[in-house]
Structure 1
Amino acid sequence: MASSSNEQSQEELERAKELYSSGTRSYYVKDYDLAVEDLSQVCTLYSDAYGTLGDQLGPPYLLYAKALIALAQNEVKLIDIPEGEGSEDSESESCDDEEAKEKPPEGGESSKAEASGSKDKDKDKDDEDDDEEEEGEQTTNPESTEEDITNLQLAWEILELAVTIFTSRGDDGKSQLAECHAELAGISFENNNYEEAVRDFTKAKDILTTLPDTNQRQLAELYYKMGLSHMMVNAFSESIEALNSACECLDKVIAENKEKGPQEEEITELIAELEDSKKDIFSKIEEIKASKMAVLDDMRKTASGSPVGAPEVIKTPPAQQPTNISHLIKRKKPDSSPSGGSSSSPSKVPKTD
């Protein structure tokens, strides 16, 4: 009996490894639905074998959370309706209404009778429609209408589990721990919780700077996102400092590539790309400086009792945000402490002890 149980457990672990490989491949080819499905099963199988906080679950948790976030982004892109798409329909309906108003009745009393009968029928139809709408509201599955929100909340909770696992690894888990904090910060940023985003971006940055082989491009990205987060709460000095640090990191990457000797086409293109990124960051710094001066000028005029005539401060959003899920958050924000319980589809939540 024990031998049979061990064989079954071994088969499940082998299946988990296959699913992890498949889920990883699906994630990198952007088949996020399949990635979420496979990685969810991996987390369930590993959780059964090693416990919810088993060390083996660290990488699957992290990739599963990233797949959930990517799936939420992908779903928004699919359901977004371009502006003006419904204008033609509204215009045609408006034209039909105007034609109906302008068209004179063809009959006398019979027309009135028909109109009266039509009103009664319309009233009955409206009553039926109202009943159907009420029934529809009662039978609507909340999970299907808020699946994207659930994905984000679940991703947050999975990331918190991953943080616990990678923290317990000590130095060996620092790189992945930094990635977890960066993903958490990205969710907070899109949820307009910029102070929380700054805290997690800072944690990720502090961890990366302790690594002997710090990835300077990754560090530059963190500094850039920190700068944007500071900017959104009018912390202009901190924002400028973070963006300047991002440029310094890019300078190091450029210098390292130039030292490699004869420059191949690939390296030349990389250096050009990094130089363009620096230009974009410098442009952002100038925008922030202008906003800072406008705010200070407004404050001086207000303090001196002058009529408020200072130019309106315009916050220019970043060209590229860490993630593009703000459409989801606007409907229902995650709790302030996302580690709290949330209802999720059983097929997506890893089984816990």
Structure 2
Amino acid sequence: MADVPEVTTSSAEELLALGRRHLAVRDYHAATESLAKACEMLAKTHGDIADECAEAYLWYGKALLGLSREESGVLGGGIPGDNEDDDNDDENNENGDEESKEQGEVANDDNAVESKEQAEIANEEVKKNEAESTTKEEEPTSSTAKESNEKPGSSNDDQNDDSVVNLENEDDVDNLQLAWEMLELSRSILEKRVADSGNAGRALLADAHLALGEVALESETYDKAVLDMVSCLEIQKELYGSDDRRIAETHYQIGLANSLASNFEDAITHFKNAANILESRIKTLENPSAAAEDATVKKFTNADPFYSVEGELKELKELLPEIQEKIQDMMDYKAEVIKRVRETLCPTNGNGQSSSAGVNKLEPKSAPSDISHLIKRKRKSSESEETSAPKRINT
């Protein structure tokens, strides 16, 4: 990614619009640069907790969340310098080949003059004998100096490397922490004015809850993520139509948080809800008359010059199989957990029959409180897939 150009726009509103454009194309560095200046200007003009700052705080928090994901490698393919490292490796290999050729040529030249050197060996023996005594006296001093020169240098390099790593880790933590702080501040401001702000303010409040849930998801506090996202869902159901894709996105995110928390039943429910909404949305868009009257289509058409019904249809049809695959995964995990619990409570004898004849069914009170160890192997590979940034259902 190219270096972020210095922002010269003086208006906070223009900075906010510029930051949102950068965020839309996932240029998180440029987005944070513009939005940070917009927040600073608005805070100086209206105060840190003024209503006018809430939206800027929200978008700045989203940009910081994206930047944190990008720097931690969750998004993949977005880290600057990957291609440059490959080019450097190729150049180093080429330089190594050239050096080996030069060494070969030097070796041939050495062979050519070897006969002359053999003729001069006798004359040099006397000089070597005289030099050896002098060398033996100087070696301890030179070796000591060499050690004194090398050790501090190597120690400084190690310290520098450690400091670079620590700074990188601190940056990652700071970005995620700062994202949470900005989003929480935005949420508190929006909740205070929600009664007077109308649907626009409530929509921003829903977005703040959803973004806070995503931050909790990144920090692996899955129960907190579910609570924030459910709060978002409750507001969205009051604002949008039943087949709005924003509701489908929130259901998907709640399903993802529940799956990571091993709440398989809840995860299945929300994934199914997301799939059902997308199926309903596809039917609406495939009907030309219904699509023309759809409020969401009108909104996207007016706000986004690149939006088209055909493009949204294609995107939704690509997302639907992925959600259905999530549903099947959760059903498989749930079945495996039940199977392992049954095997634990009702072990079989050599004939394949249960050794506990009196136990015919699984009672909830008999289930162990912690069964994570029973599915540790399968969940480990699943978590690495699901903690990667999921495809967003919302454009």
TM-score by length of 2: 0.62
How far, CA to CA, are the matches of 1:245 and 1:275 in structure 2? 16
How far, CA to CA, are the matches of 2:288 and 2:152 in structure 1? 76
How far, CA to CA, are the matches of 1:23 and 1:258 in structure 2? 34
Quick check: which one's helix share is greater? 2
Measured against aligned partners, the alpha-carbon deviations of 1:62-102 in whole angstroms (never above 9, x if no partner) come to 111122222333444426869x989999xx9xxxxxxxxxx
How far, CA to CA, are the matches of 2:32 and 2:375 in structure 1? 51
SS in 1 for 2:389: coil
Report how far residue 203 of structure 1 moved. Answer: 1.1
Report how far residue 43 of structure 1 moved. Answer: 1.5
When the two chains are superposed, the root-mean-square deviation of aligned CA atoms in Å is 4.3
Structure 1 pair 58/156, CA: closer, same or farther in 2 (3 Å)?
A: same
Structure 2, gaps ≥5 residues long: 1-8, 73-77, 97-127, 293-306, 350-372
Give runs of aligned pairs for residues 43-122 of structure 1, distance below 5 A: 43-76=39-72, 77-78=78-79, 120-122=144-146
How far, CA to CA, are the matches of 1:135 and 1:227 in structure 2? 44
What is the aligned partner in structure 2 of residue 318 from structure 1?
Answer: 386
What is the aligned partner in structure 1 of residue 313 from structure 2?
Answer: 271
Q: Would you say 1:183 and 2:211 are equivalent positions? A: yes
Report how far residue 31 of structure 1 moved. Answer: 3.9
Find 2:271's aligned residue among 243, 246, 249: 243
How far, CA to CA, are the matches of 1:177 and 1:239 in structure 2? 24
Work out whether residues 73 and 323 of structure 1, in 8 Å CA contact, stay in contact via their aligned partners in 2. no
How far, CA to CA, are the matches of 2:216 and 2:53 in structure 1? 24
Find 1:281's aligned residue among 310, 317, 323: 323
Query: How many residue pairs get matched?
Result: 295
Report how far residue 321 of structure 1 moved. Answer: 2.5
Q: Would you say 1:153 and 2:177 are equivalent positions? A: yes
How far, CA to CA, are the matches of 1:284 and 1:135 in structure 2? 45
Work out whether residues 190 and 323 of structure 1, in 8 Å CA contact, stay in contact via their aligned partners in 2. no
Larger Rg: 2
TM-score by length of 1: 0.68
Structure 1, gaps ≥5 residues long: 1-12, 93-107, 325-353
What is the aligned partner in structure 2 of residue 102 from structure 1?
Answer: none
Measured against aligned partners, the alpha-carbon deviations of 1:228-281 in whole angstroms (never above 9, x if no partner) come to 111112211111101011011112211221232499995455334323322221
Structure 1 pair 225/126, CA: closer, same or farther in 2 (3 Å)?
A: same
Aligned identity (percent) is 24
Structure 1 pair 56/14, CA: closer, same or farther in 2 (3 Å)?
A: farther
How far, CA to CA, are the matches of 1:241 and 1:139 in structure 2? 46
